[in-house]
């Protein structure tokens, strides 16, 4: 490989104006959906664990979720993992919001 050096050329296609508008609209939808999800679960107790006889309350930590995280593939899993302890208690609206976030993330890519 040292005898023949390979030149690598990387090409990057820029976004058109329509693509930029679509990207911005998807980001706005993700932001709105996450705000709605956070608003509906601000003071919800996620679950109670017992260590000995002392109950420990864990709060849902949805504050770490932001639009920047939506670019990662694991975003859907992170949202779902945050809600797993109370998934059986959340209503259909919250489940729909989580599904919408997954769909919007796929559209974003």
Model confidence at 53: pLDDT above 70? no
Q: For residue 82, tell me if it sits in a domain.
A: yes
Angular region, 103: left φ>0, alpha ψ -120 to 50, beta rest: alpha
Count up the domains in the chain and report the number.
1
Range of the domain at 39: 17-108
The contacts of residue 75 (CB under 8 Å, 6+ apart) are 69, 101, 105
**What per-residue confidence (pLDDT) applies to 32?**
92
pLDDT at 54 over 60: no
12 located within any domain: no
Whether 10 maps to a domain, the answer reads no
Question: Is there a domain that residue 54 lies in?
Answer: yes
Contact 67, 107 (CB under 8 A): no
For the entire predicted model, the pTM comes to: 0.68
- Residue spans of beta strands (DSSP E) within 1-109: 45-51, 54-59
pLDDT tens digits for range 58-93: 445 566 677 787 888 788 788 888 888 888 888 888
């Amino acid at each position: 490989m040292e005898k023949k050096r390979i030149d690598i050329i990387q090409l990057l296609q820029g976004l058109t104006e329509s693509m930029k508008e679509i990207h911005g609209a998807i980001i706005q939808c993700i932001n709105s959906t996450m705000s709605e999800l956070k608003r509906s679960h601000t003071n919800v107790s996620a679950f109670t664990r017992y260590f000995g006889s002392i109950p420990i309350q864990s709060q849902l930590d949805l504050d770490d979720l932001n639009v920047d995280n939506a670019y990662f593939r694991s975003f859907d899993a992170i949202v779902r993992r945050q809600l797993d302890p109370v998934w059986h208690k959340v209503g259909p609206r919250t489940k729909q919001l989580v599904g919408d976030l997954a769909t919007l993330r796929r559209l974003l890519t």
